[in-house]
Structure 1
Amino acid sequence: MPDHRPYRGTAHPAAPRGALKAVLIVAALAGVASVVAGLLIVLRSPGEYGLPRDRDTLNLPAQPEQSGRPGQALFQAPADMPPPLPRITPAPPMLPSTPTRIVITSLGIDAPITSLGLAKDGTIEVPDMDEPNLAGWYRNMSTPGEAGPAVLLGHKDTRTRAAVFARLREIKNGDVIEIRRQDRTTAVFTVGGVEQAGKKAFPTQRVYGPRDDAQLHLITCGGDYDRTTGHYLDNIIVYATMTSFHRS
């Protein structure tokens, strides 16, 4: 999952003009070669999507601009604080029903949803890497639209291409997320905040803790990419609350 280190140079004594020109040309060519080699390494490295257990809090700066959508300040709070809510009245929760599809028009997302359980190491399973346009619902939590947090995971990218949640960090407070369900209803969620948390500082209580309203929490990888381990260092978490529903 590619995301892309400063170099601190040392001073050198002055060189004759001709020699300096040759040195500059060689340095430029070496720089181009290094960039190309680095890109090849990133493209051939898989990303990490598991959720670790040793977690604390993390303070983060404003979200950078991407794809023409201005950035917004990321949500910041101690890990035991509740998730951020949108400025709109929550809708009453519905009865449980398995989710089948997620649609986020503002990000161009329209993807099927598969069911996920726990892996052998106790972490949540992740969607199949061979199906990049696939989100996964953690079935040990609420279904989307039911009271409590419904948790969906998706890859940011694969070894060769962008994946379903590649643009998730660009979502804005007030954006709408639609979840289609097996009972032929569509639960409509409004985004209340976006958080970037280190994988060793994951806000477990905020993401998985019990809630009275129907909430939707989307998780993907983000932050810097560690080429040595082949993992992203952070998670991007979107917090949304159900504000309406309708028949599909």
Structure 2
Amino acid sequence: MAAKSPSAAEPAPAPGRRRWRTAVTLIWIAAALAATAYLVGGRGGPSDAGGPPHAPPAVSSTASAVSDAAAAPAARPSAADAPRLPRSKPVRLLIPKIAVDAPFTDLAIGRSGQLDPPPPDDTNLVGWYAKGHSPGEPGTAIIAGHVDTTTSPAVFARLGELKKGDRFHVTRADGSRATFVVDHKESFRKDAFPSERVYGDTPDAQVRLITCAGAYDRRARDYTENLVVFAHLV
């Protein structure tokens, strides 16, 4: 997954063995807790400068409540009636349609101000933003994965095949399984990433699956877009 989360100041990218396809950065200044993260990676080469998807706030309760109208079907229950689970660490992501069966690793902001990527030698691994919402609890949970490496496809190589109505599951540390249904998917240019729409807090339990998309810019050593799959708990 070659995703990036540039800071508001567009910090210099950190070297990495493969390109990230996911975007996560903290820039919620109004909360006074805002920090910026920048996800980078490469197809086995140095990290590149990248576009600006911005990540969710470190403390979700301070985030602005931004509803994702485009992702909310008319038949979806009200927030009060929507299913919800208590906070619990995700253990495994299961997406039957695209043959994903992958363990989770925690993603956090490193000392460099960038979101640390999953280990570069494991193509079947997804990360979740551990200071945000866990999948299944009310709010927007962020799950990111590599799309490829220099030698092979990675865990989210087929993420673009998901369509509205497809289901996927997250097994959790408390023994429960959260099932999500896809509302829609969109690709966004990294230089015009709608951070509030993607990462804004929600009253019901939602998930964003994120990876890179678009053309691969060999000069920049980066993909030009991010693919985001919007889904909600059922």
TM-score, length of structure 1 as denominator length: 0.66
Q: Deviations along 1:77-115, whole A, 9 cap, x unmatched?
A: xxx772512565354211100000000101111110111
Contact 1:50/1:123, CA 8 A, preserved across alignment: no
Q: Which residue of 1 aligns with 2:231?
A: 240
Is 2:47 the partner of 1:85? no
Where do 4+ consecutive residues of structure 1 move more than 6 Å?
none
Deviation at 1:46, TM superposition (A): 4.0
Alignment of 1:172-191 (within 5 A): 172-191=163-182
Q: 1:163 maps to which residue? A: 154
Identity %: 40
Matched-pair contact (CA < 8 Å) for 1:86–1:240: no
CA distance in 1, matches of 2:230, 2:159: 11
1:145 aligns with 2:102: no
What's the RMSD between the two structures over aligned residues?
Answer: 2.3
* CA distance 1:227–1:239, change in 2 (3 Å): same
User: What letter corresponds to residue 76 of structure 2 in structure 1?
Assistant: T
Which residue pairs with 2:31 in the alignment? Answer: none
> TM-score under structure 2 normalisation?
0.70
Alpha carbons of 1:55 and 1:48: their partners in 2 closer, same or farther (altered >3 Å)? Answer: closer
Contact 1:86 1:173 in 2 (8 A): no
| Counterparts in 2 of 1:119 and 1:198: CA distance versus 1, 3 Å | farther
User: Which structure shows the bigger proportion of residues in helix conformation?
Assistant: 1
Q: Does 1:47 align with 2:23?
A: no
Give the Cα–Cα distance (whole angstroms) in 2 for the partners of residues 54 and 179 of structure 1: 28
Are 1:127 and 1:153, in contact at CA under 8 Å, matched by a contact in 2? no
| Corresponding residue of 1:97 | 88
Aligned residues: 178
* Runs of 5+ consecutive residues of structure 2 not aligned to the other structure: 3-16, 24-37, 39-50, 55-65
* Mapped pair 1:116 → 2:103: no
Matched, 1:222 2:213: yes
Structure 1 runs not aligned, ≥5 long: 3-44, 57-79, 244-248
